[in-house]
Amino acid sequence: MLLDKRLPVVICDDESTHGEWRGLLADLPLLPAPPSLIVSSRLADERLWGEVLNLGGYDVLPTPFVRTEVLPVCFQALKSWERQRGTVRIRAAG
């Protein structure tokens, strides 16, 4: 899978093409500024969450998406990505 190297956060479904997210996580370190990977799953559970984190992913989001869950996780993933690169481009409103 080819990713635009400017993407700071990527969301990948756990059911896409037989665990493609695992291969994606393995390839991310090859990018100059690897994005934070969030795996989405309709069966999000502790086992998947532990696997995602152990393999270097950022978090797991249950589907169907709930706005009040997605936005904070994506915002935190972006902040983490910026901290790792020593940049801060966004700030929380308020």
Answer yes or no: is 68 within a domain.
yes
End-to-end Cα, the chain, rounded Å:
38
CA distance 52 to 61: 11
Least confident of 10-24, 44-58, 64-78: 10-24
**Cis status of the peptide bond prior to 8, with omega within 30 of 0:** no
44 contacts 38 by C-beta, under 8 angstroms: no
Q: Does any domain span residue 93?
A: no
Residue 91 lies in a domain: no
CATH code of the domain containing 17:
3.40.50.2300
Q: Within a domain: residue 4?
A: no
Mean pLDDT of the chain: 85
**Structural domain range at position 61:** 9-85
- Average pLDDT of the residues in 59-83: 94
- Evaluate whether residue 94 is within a structural domain: no
> Does residue 92 sit within a domain?
no
pLDDT (0 to 100) of residue 94? 47
**Conformation bin of residue 84: beta by default, left when phi > 0, alpha when psi is -120 to 50:** alpha
Pairing mode, if any, of strands 36-41 and 59-62?
parallel
